[in-house]
Structure 1
Amino acid sequence: MNNRSFSRLIHHLSFRQRWLLPCLSAIVALTIWATSYAQPANAQRGLVDLIFRGIQVIQLSSLSDRQEVTLGGQINQQLLSSEFRLLNEPNITRYVDRIGQRLVPYSERPNIPYRFQVVRNNQVNAFATMGGYVYVTSGLLAKAANEAELASVLGHEMGHIVGRHAVNQMKQQAIEAGLASAAGLDRNTAVRIGVELALNRPGSRRDEFEADRLGLFSLTRAGYAASAMPAFMQNLVSSRSVPNFLSTHPATPDRIRTLNQLIAQNNLAGSAGLDNAAYQSAVRSRLTSQR
């Protein structure tokens, strides 16, 4: 067909028929694009299917700070509704939060909201989940000798959040279990894995040493005594019963040795928080009434 014949044909088409031509062209182009990029198309189709089923999907590899905080909040809500009971002692809660908030500006990730909570449990333990949620047990508060030792624990747990260790571990577990699709990981599954990680966090040597280092520098920048972190660890391993959470972590003597090396190499000092009597008044005496 020559150009004149084609123009005559277009002239005789109705308005609706002429309007359809560019749409058909677009459909053909999209078909070619979809054929060339089959894998992304499958991922998009999977995402659309999940959305229509009412499931929220997240991409852990590109999780923003806001998304991490939201997900951490949902994990926290699940932990507190089914696993833990918070200590009902406002003065202790405020005291622990004040120490934690003192560390926040000196962390390498100060722009997310941190929440420090005390769990009513006699075991010596501390843990964190993504998005700024840090937990210490009443048993750990009773074991610490002073405020600086408690601050060293909070700093370590903040180090896990700064390093996004829970996010990385969640991604790894989801992939290994075959739970992450091309579209991502549905939020309910992410919350479930997050709860499991908070309860039984793998003691990755790299993660623990990084959290120690990050926590130590936050601790000393805030003015607390650097010596408190290795001192508290030494206190724990020297006790008759080593806390369960240390048994799943790298060898504590190695961590103590590394911390002392960091302190010496960087001339870290600080002197705040070593008053045992003040800590006794602020925490230990109040804990007795909660037992």
Structure 2
Amino acid sequence: MIRFFFIIHRYWVYPCILLLVTTFVVTIGVQSSHSQSLLNLFFQGMQIVQLTTMSDSQEVKLAQQINDELIRSGKFTLSHNTQLNQAVQRIGQRLVPISERPNLPYTFQVVEDGSINAFATMGGFVYVNTGLISIAENEAELASVVAHEIAHITARHSINQMRDLALSKGLISAAGLRENTIVQLGVQLGINLPYSRKAELEADRLGVKNLINAGYAPIGMVTFMQKLIQKSGTSAPDFLSTHPATSERVRELNRAVNDTRLYQGDGLDNQSYQQNFRRFL
């Protein structure tokens, strides 16, 4: 009986609320413009829920459009080095099966850019600059970056950012967000806006967990972040501008990983990294 009640509640609650709102507007005889604002407010709340609970298939479809627009707009150039792309893909596909969202069709792409940067969009698209690959000393360090970006996707951080940005710009209407608006927001968020401190720390926590479960040595994430701190002493790399509070993140990682486990795992062979990654740059 209780289960039946909740099923009925789930399917009828929103139509009932809409009926009540409409009846209220008509009954009290408010002005037309005010009536419209009340209804828009109601539908706005509904659209926030729809955006944050979009299906995986919707997310992947929109992510593909965002990826196409990023490439078409010339905001970056993808590397055509097949061996380097395959090497990064191999890392990504090792991390995906034990991530929080293993069923997404992830795509890992190398960007031909000397700046130290990596970013991700929703739907499983991860981008790593050649400049970042060149400063990593081993596969565990590079894998730590990929794991961090996967974590942003699994935690739906870009979708949450999109919701907040759409609300701040007043882009959510009674009809909802149009696909082209979502794509433009995704392009803007993909490479321009930093994540919050909370999102970065969550991505670190999920990323290092993924790194360990995939069999990589977690020290790779710590040493790579330490490199970023050293780089910030001269000219801060792009990776720092989109991934703030690096020193705090190193402290949190040291607390999260037991010292005895830091060097347990694969990916610490610097010579192998030179042979399989750096020589293709």
TM-score category (smaller protein):
0.7 to 0.9
How does 1:274-289 map onto structure 2 within 5 Å?
Answer: 274-287=268-281
Deviation at 1:283, TM superposition (A): 1.4
The CA distance in 2 between the partners of 1:59 and 1:225, in whole Å, is 39
Match of 1:251 among 241, 245, 253: 245
Match of 2:70 in 1: 79
Q: Which residue of 2 aligns with 1:19?
A: none
Who wins on radius of gyration, i.e. which is larger?
A: 1
For normalisation by structure 2, the TM-score amounts to: 0.81
Partner residue in 2 for 1:169? 161
CA distance 1:269–1:106, shift in 2 (3 Å) = farther
Deviation, 1:162, is 0.7
1:63 and 2:54 aligned: yes
Which residue, out of 224, 231, 234, partners 1:232? 224
Q: TM-score, normalised by structure 1?
A: 0.78
Are 1:183 and 2:175 an aligned pair?
yes
Residue identity matched to 2:141:
E
The alignment covers a number of residue pairs equal to 248
| Separation of aligned partners in 2, 1:278 and 1:222 | 18
* Aligned-pair Cα RMSD in Å: 2.7
Q: Which of 187, 198, 217 pairs up with 1:206?
A: 198
Q: CA deviation at 1:201?
A: 2.4
Is the contact between residue 220 and residue 268 of structure 1 (CA under 8 Å) also seen in structure 2? no
Give yes or no for contact 2:137–2:270 (8 Å, CA) kept in 1.
Answer: yes
1:59 deviates by 3.5
> 2:270 aligned with 1:271, yes or no?
no
Q: Secondary structure at the match of 2:188?
A: helix
Once residues 224 and 178 of structure 1 are traced to their aligned partners in structure 2, the CA distance between those partners, rounded to angstroms, is: 44
Tell me if 1:91 matches 2:83: yes
How far apart, in 2, do the equivalents of 1:202 and 1:247 lie?
A: 7
Residues 35 and 207 of structure 1: is their aligned pair in 2 closer, same or farther, counting only changes over 3 Å? closer
Cα distance in 1 between the residues matched to 2:245 and 2:104:
31
Post-superposition CA distance 1:68-121 (Å, at most 9, x none): 111111100101111111111000000100100000011111111111000000
Does the 8 Å CA contact 1:263/1:269 hold for their aligned counterparts?
A: no
Structure 1 CA distance for aligned equivalents of residues 219 and 52 of structure 2: 37
Q: Which residue of 2 aligns with 1:115?
A: 107
Secondary structure of 2:257's counterpart equals: helix
Post-superposition shift, 1:34? 8.6
Percent identical pairs in the alignment equals 51
Q: Distance in 1 between matches of 2:56 and 2:161?
A: 17
Residue type matched to 2:63 in 1? G
- 2:188 is aligned with what amino acid? E
Give the conservation status (yes or no) of the 8 Å contact 1:124–1:137.
Answer: yes
**What residue number does 1:21 align with?**
none
Indicate the SS of the match to 1:135: strand
Q: What is the match of residue 18 of structure 1?
A: none
Could you say which residue in structure 2 is the equivalent of 1:158? 150
How much has 1:35 moved relative to structure 2?
Answer: 4.0
Q: 1:34 to 1:203 in 2, by over 3 A?
A: closer
SS for the counterpart of 2:278 is: helix
| 1:105 to 2:97 alignment | yes
Q: Identify if the C-alpha distance between structure 1 residues 33 and 110 changes in structure 2 by more than 3 Å, giving closer, same or farther.
A: same
Which 5+ residue runs of structure 2 have no aligned equivalent? Answer: 1-18, 26-34
User: 2:215 aligns to what?
Assistant: 223
